[in-house]
Chains A and B, each alone.
Chain A
Amino acid sequence: MSMPFGYASPEQIMRDKADYARKGIARGRSVVVLQYVDGILFVAPNPSRALHKISEIYDRIGFAAVGRYNEFEELRLGGIRYADINGYTYDRSDVTGRGLANLYASNLGRIFTESIKSLEVEVVVAEVGETKDGDAIYRLTFDGSVFDEHGFAAMGGQAEAVAGRLKERYRESMSLADALEVALAALTEPGGERPPVAQLEVAVLDRNREHRKFLRLTGARLERLLAQTTQPPASPPPASESPSESSESSEPPSKGSAGSSGSSGDTPPPTGPEGPVDDGSSPL
């Protein structure tokens, strides 16, 4: 059977688009979102003070993104419009993270299939509930897939390595300082240096706040909090003390299971994929 000139199979087109998007997303730095006792913590190394990776969408809903700034900014603005319209049409309590995640998913999916270039973004929509059982973290990838994450999510940069370190250290109902410590340890490569305070973007959705739960932690407040984290949480040693990356890969299974109490699935944490991160070989 003869192929028309310039024919490319749908599989090939999709794979190329996915590869392209993955490479774009992996170029940036990682962002970590995790649950703590009073809500949800967002941490992003971000040298820019003006271009935020983390922001408020609505009373109980926060947004974090990695990838191309102009693309996820469009998503962020659209999300705010969606939330404000629904909150104004009905009641403020009728705006949900699930609704917003679905809106994003349908848009990301549509663009992935219909446009030449998919969006090079990955976003997290997190919603804080009245209790910790009401918390939700949705991670959305460039193709519109939605992952209902339990406890924590990492994306962008060397996402798998970060998620691995996060899974290892994450425990349920941590204090804010402990959660920040865990996030920073996960964002730091073994043996690497932690990002300075000025280059950290940190925010929380705190269920104990009135009205709007979202709060940026900046300046003195963040420094005080970081001062509390100098004592690392009891169980795992901070990443900077790990002798080499081999310790990452040869972790005892007990540690993994302790960390996975609230995590999705039973897959073991990925083992140190250093070097060229995401080669696109994993399935969509």
Chain B
Amino acid sequence: MASHRDLPVGLVNQLFQNNGSSSFTEFMSSYAPELLPRRDEVLATPIGDQVPHATTIVAATFAGGVIMAGDRRATSGNVISQRDVQKVFRTDDYSCMGIAGTASTGIEFARLFRVELEHYEKLEGRTMSVAGKANRLATMIRGNLGMAMQGLVVVPLFAAYDPDKDEGRIFSYDVAGGPYERERFDAIGSGSIFARGSLKKLYRDGASADDMAMTLIQALYDAADDDSATGGPDVTRKIWPVVGVIDADGFRRLSDEQVAGYVDQMLEARMISPDGPIAPLR
């Protein structure tokens, strides 16, 4: 496909041509298609097991916002390929996404999605609605279905603060797209079943951001406890989960010191009760 970047720069260039769409991806697909994630490749053999995989992401809402946390492990088959990979990404001032599945494709998606959201915001002069953002991400994931069938699966978890409702919202996806809006909390990745079980018992409606951060750290620990592909907090190397908080003030990533504080508290309690907090029976 001929790329229009070869044209001389001028208003004849597509850069200055209004194609009626505010989508960065749509513009790129005609301007420089080679830069977008490839969707039409046919791999001789599925390579799913040979590339690093990102594992567990958890997210939960709290009073006036949403919080997302991810462990730091990437695995290739049974080998730990990276101990400090980052899987939770800020996508704009009021949203973030976490990735599970093929790490490289997921990182590429997060990068493209961020540009996509900001591109719209700058062109239109308004922030895209939360539903709009979730739908846009669904289209991107749907476009990856061909690659997913060959082993390059990416499944994101999307969280955003909705200024109209003054609350956090969580959307999950499957390989064919989505979005599925989730009430209260959700988890994705290999350790998600264990994390979800933990969250089910620990989640409190109307909790503060501080309490909910602790809840997510507990859930990640429970996931790491039972899932070999999920990394627990690495106390010796001081590698802590990535925790992102979104509320009316926007997205902020908790500092390593803050997360280390939660982890220390949790480990101390687990020295006495190794399975973590015990939910009341009645």
Contact = CB atoms under 8 A, between A and B. Distances in A.
Interface of A: 50, 52, 55-57, 74-75, 77-78, 80-82, 84-85, 87-89, 103, 106-107, 110-111, 211-212
A84 B27 CA distance: 11
B16 A85 contact: no
Interface in B1-46: 9-11, 13, 15-16, 18, 24, 27-28, 31-32, 35
A228 B35 CA distance: 48
B18 A84 contact: no
Contacts of B11: 74, 78, 107, 110-111
B10 A106 contact: yes
B200 interface: no
Contacts of A212: 93, 118
B119 A84 contact: yes
Given A77-B123, A80-B119, A84-B118, A107 B16 contact: yes
Contact of B115 (A55, A78, A88): A88
A77 B125 CA distance: 11
Contacts of B122: 55-57, 80
Contacts of A56: 122
Interface string B78-109: 00000000000010010000000000000000
Contacts of B24: 84, 88
B201 interface: no
Contacts of A81: 15, 27, 31, 119
B210 to A, nearest CB: 21
Contact of B9 (A75, A87, A107): A107
Nearest to B125: A52
B262 to A, nearest CB: 22
B111 interface: yes
Given A80-B122, A211-B90, A212-B93, A74 B16 contact: yes
Q: Which of A56, A88, A103, A106 has the most CB of B within 10 A?
A: A88
A174 B31 CA distance: 43
B74 to A, nearest CB: 21
A236 to B, nearest CB: 35
Contacts of A110: 10-11
A78 B15 contact: yes
Nearest to A109: B10
B112 interface: yes
Nearest to B112: A88
Given A52-B125, A75-B16, A107 B10 contact: yes
A81 B26 CA distance: 12
A106 B8 CA distance: 10
Contact of A77 (B16, B28, B32): B16
Nearest to A214: B122
Nearest to B10: A110
A130 B10 CA distance: 31
A89 B16 contact: no
* Top-10 shortest CB links A-B: A78-B16, A78-B15, A110-B10, A80-B122, A81-B15, A88-B115, A84-B119, A84-B115, A56-B122, A82-B15
Interface in B119-168: 119, 122-123, 125
A57 B119 CA distance: 9
14 contacts: A52-B125, A55-B125, A74-B11, A77-B123, A80-B119, A81-B27, A84-B24, A84-B119, A85-B15, A85-B28, A88-B28, A89-B32, A103-B15, A110-B10
A3 B122 CA distance: 52
Contacts of B18: 74, 77
A221 B11 CA distance: 38
Contacts of B119: 80-81, 84
Contacts of A74: 11, 16, 18
Q: Which of B9, B11, B123 has the most CB of A within 10 A?
A: B11
Contacts of A84: 24, 115, 118-119
Given A80-B122, A107-B10, 17 more contacts: A50-B125, A52-B125, A56-B122, A57-B122, A77-B18, A78-B11, A78-B13, A78-B15, A78-B16, A81-B119, A84-B119, A85-B28, A88-B115, A106-B10, A107-B11, A107-B16, A110-B10
